[in-house]
Amino acid sequence: MKAVFIAYNQALTEKVDDALKVAGIKGFSKWSDMLGAGSNQGEPHLGSHTWPAMNSGILAIVDDSKEDELLSHIKKIERVAGEQGIHAFVWSIEKMI
């Protein structure tokens, strides 16, 4: 099993939701209002007057067989709308009860 954390500009919510649906991922946890700033490029998303954009985040625990398909959909979103901000992080799950 893999944990996939996706942090993204709220403007991309529909695209990310569609990616989960197409990849057949039904279970996830979502944080709707996240603040953040990327480490390399882009503008901060701080929900302030100066930086009004906001992020959302999703954590999905997926079968290894679904990891590549989900990441493929996220890469497509990044290619089209990368300046808005989207990143995915993956790590292995050792146990689940």
Instruction: Say which CATH number the domain at 15 has.
Output: 3.30.70.120
Q: Is 37 left (phi over 0), alpha (psi -120 to 50) or beta?
A: beta
Q: Where are the beta strands (DSSP E) in 1-97?
A: 2-9, 29-34, 55-62, 86-92
What is the CA 83 to chain-centroid distance, rounded? 14
Position 53 in a domain: yes
Per-residue pLDDT of the chain (97 residues; tens, 9 = 90+): 999 999 999 999 999 999 999 999 999 999 999 988 876 777 777 778 888 889 999 999 999 999 999 999 999 999 998 778 899 999 999 998 9
The model carries a pTM of 0.90
80: its two tokens: 């089209």
- In total, how many domains does the chain have? 1
The pLDDT value given to residue 57: 97
